[in-house]
Chains A and B, each alone.
Chain A
Amino acid sequence: MSSIKDRVIDIIAQQAVLEPSDVSLDSTLDDLGIDSLGLVESIFAIEEEFDISVPFNANAPEDSEFDISSVASIIDGIEALVKDQS
């Protein structure tokens, strides 16, 4: 099985309609053209993929415990959640 990092990048790339190789770790979702609906859809896809629950509230994304400021921060967050929730 590929790494958490690769699987998260695949999901984000699919949402952004890009190749995974075009998604860099320091990109923000904004850079990738993912809007608020795209973000909640990505989080849903991530929850399905890893069977975890992501603490994210679309009303106040910046106040959520889950850091979505870059692809790298999302991957870190998912890795922590997978560890905690497994």
Chain B
Amino acid sequence: MKRVVITGAGTINALGHNVPDTLEAMREGRCGIGDLEFRDVDRLAIRIGGQVRGYEPETRFNRQQLSLYDRFTQFTLIAAREAIGQSGLEFSGELAARSGVVLGNSGGGMTTLDENYRSVYEDGKNRVHPFVVPKLMNNAAASHLSMEFNLKGPSFTVSTACASSNHAMAQAFQMVHGGMTPVMITGGSESMLCFGGVKAWEGLRVMSKDGCRPFSANRNGMVQGEGAGIFVFEEYEHARARGAEILAEVAGYAMSSDASDIVMPSKQGAARAIKGALADARLNTSDVGYINAHGTGTAANDKTESAAVADVFGAHADRLMISSTKSMHGHLIGGTGAVELLACILAVRDGIIAPTIGYDEPDPECALDVVPNEAREANVSVALSNAFAFGGLNAVLALKRFG
């Protein structure tokens, strides 16, 4: 089996419009969550989110591109330009024919849907723009990414709600690991911060009105975010031969299904995914220094996740660090695992553990070292990234320091 390394990373999210700014914000424990700004926000009960601010689409894309790119596609391309730029790869000939794109996404072009439903239902219009379908389809981002960079290999979009990006990256890893292709572009994106997108989540009564405080006893729900994270997964020998800078090694993964409830998480399902990722990566529990938690800030997730970690790691659970960066960038739903993988790279490459901010009070049901409020320096060689989705679909990735 081939070793798989990460040779490029890109992002845009509430903490920054690129990787360096995002990692700096994570180091400083900055909060990207604030008052939402969009039409009809005054009709929402939930008015906060991790919105991408100071972003001017016209400076990144021309008019024709913007007529075809929903916001989630725009975010994907911005992150992909950064990641592929960093990798130094150019795709032509045999490499282009074999390299592909696997992305995670949940809602597709939710702002496109929202605007056009408003137009036909509220404004009573009988005609919509011809590009509504190609803009809102969930695979639009993967397709435009493949077109912009000439990626002609296996390309598709994976949709497993909050675990979409982790499932996508696991799939991309497997393709490189198994020798199908030397390079895959992977990660995910989401943009559902619009009236309809937030209204739908509001209905479920799991959202916080005032902030995301994972693992804290006074937590009261999740906060949505938006953005994208994109990575270049490359076969190690291919990367080495061209002298590429290696950010980290992807060591393994596991996926599981709770097969029990459409919204409530299961300790057993989560534990099986964590244990499976360690087995796949041939790691011992004691090798793991950091876990980027799913850590949504809901009552159910955080205690179930803490119990699953305690079960898998036993006594070592008290020695490892686990933080939820959703406290800073919000929950990017289908894109969340991709942005959170950046925190794992920060841990294994730079020895910096991103904190769980907004942490006020210990919860005896979440009695782990959640790196409260301030980043910490630590020598960590292995990090896990957890994602446990609605629908009970779980995916955990294992990242190793390279070298």
A-to-B contact residues, CB < 8 Å: 17, 37, 40-41, 43-44, 47-48
Residues A47 and B131 in contact, CB atoms below 8 Å apart: no
Q: How far is the CB of A37 from chain B (nearest CB, A)?
A: 7
Residues A41 and B130 in contact, CB atoms below 8 Å apart: yes
Contacts of A44 in B (CB 8 A): 127, 129-130
Name the residue among B129, B130, B131 with the largest chain A CB count within 10 angstroms.
Answer: B130
- Which single residue of chain B is at the shortest CB-CB distance from A39? B130
Q: How far is the CB of A39 from chain B (nearest CB, A)?
A: 9
- A83 vs B64: C-alpha distance when bound (angstroms): 31
Contacts of A40 in B (CB 8 A): 130
Residues B127 and A41 in contact, CB atoms below 8 Å apart: no
- A43 vs B127: C-alpha distance when bound (angstroms): 11
- A41 vs B67: C-alpha distance when bound (angstroms): 9
Q: How far is the CB of A55 from chain B (nearest CB, A)?
A: 14
Q: How far is the CB of A66 from chain B (nearest CB, A)?
A: 15
Residues B67 and A48 in contact, CB atoms below 8 Å apart: no
Residues A48 and B131 in contact, CB atoms below 8 Å apart: no
B53-72 interface with A by 8 A CB criterion: 64, 67-68
List 10 tightest A-B contacts by C-beta distance, closest first: A40-B130, A44-B130, A41-B130, A47-B127, A44-B129, A41-B67, A48-B127, A41-B131, A44-B127, A37-B131
Contacts of B130 in A (CB 8 A): 37, 40-41, 43-44
B125-142 interface with A by 8 A CB criterion: 127, 129-131, 134
B-to-A contact residues, CB < 8 Å: 64, 67-68, 127, 129-131, 134
Given contacts A41-B130, A44-B127, A44-B130, 13 further A-B contacts (CB under 8 A): A17-B64, A37-B68, A37-B130, A37-B131, A37-B134, A40-B130, A41-B67, A41-B129, A41-B131, A43-B130, A44-B129, A47-B127, A48-B127
User: Can you pick out 7 interface pairs between chain A and chain B where the beta carbons lie within 8 Å of each other?
Assistant: A37-B131, A41-B67, A41-B130, A44-B127, A44-B129, A44-B130, A48-B127
Q: How far is the CB of B150 from chain A (nearest CB, A)?
A: 19
Q: How far is the CB of B66 from chain A (nearest CB, A)?
A: 12
- A51 vs B127: C-alpha distance when bound (angstroms): 10
Contacts of B67 in A (CB 8 A): 41
- A41 vs B134: C-alpha distance when bound (angstroms): 12
- A22 vs B93: C-alpha distance when bound (angstroms): 38
- Which single residue of chain B is at the shortest CB-CB distance from A43? B130
- Which single residue of chain B is at the shortest CB-CB distance from A58? B130
- A17 vs B67: C-alpha distance when bound (angstroms): 14
- A85 vs B364: C-alpha distance when bound (angstroms): 72
- A47 vs B130: C-alpha distance when bound (angstroms): 11
Q: How far is the CB of A53 from chain B (nearest CB, A)?
A: 8
- A44 vs B133: C-alpha distance when bound (angstroms): 14
Q: How far is the CB of A48 from chain B (nearest CB, A)?
A: 7
- A43 vs B128: C-alpha distance when bound (angstroms): 12
Contacts of A48 in B (CB 8 A): 127
Contacts of A47 in B (CB 8 A): 127
Contacts of B127 in A (CB 8 A): 44, 47-48
Contacts of B68 in A (CB 8 A): 37
Q: How far is the CB of A45 from chain B (nearest CB, A)?
A: 9
- Which single residue of chain B is at the shortest CB-CB distance from A47? B127
- A41 vs B64: C-alpha distance when bound (angstroms): 10
- A51 vs B100: C-alpha distance when bound (angstroms): 43
- A71 vs B68: C-alpha distance when bound (angstroms): 25
- A37 vs B64: C-alpha distance when bound (angstroms): 10
Contacts of A17 in B (CB 8 A): 64
- A44 vs B126: C-alpha distance when bound (angstroms): 12
- A48 vs B130: C-alpha distance when bound (angstroms): 12
Name the residue among A40, A41, A47 with the largest chain B CB count within 10 angstroms.
Answer: A41
- A47 vs B68: C-alpha distance when bound (angstroms): 19
Q: How far is the CB of A46 from chain B (nearest CB, A)?
A: 11
Q: How far is the CB of B90 from chain A (nearest CB, A)?
A: 26
- A47 vs B129: C-alpha distance when bound (angstroms): 10
Contacts of A43 in B (CB 8 A): 130
Contacts of B64 in A (CB 8 A): 17
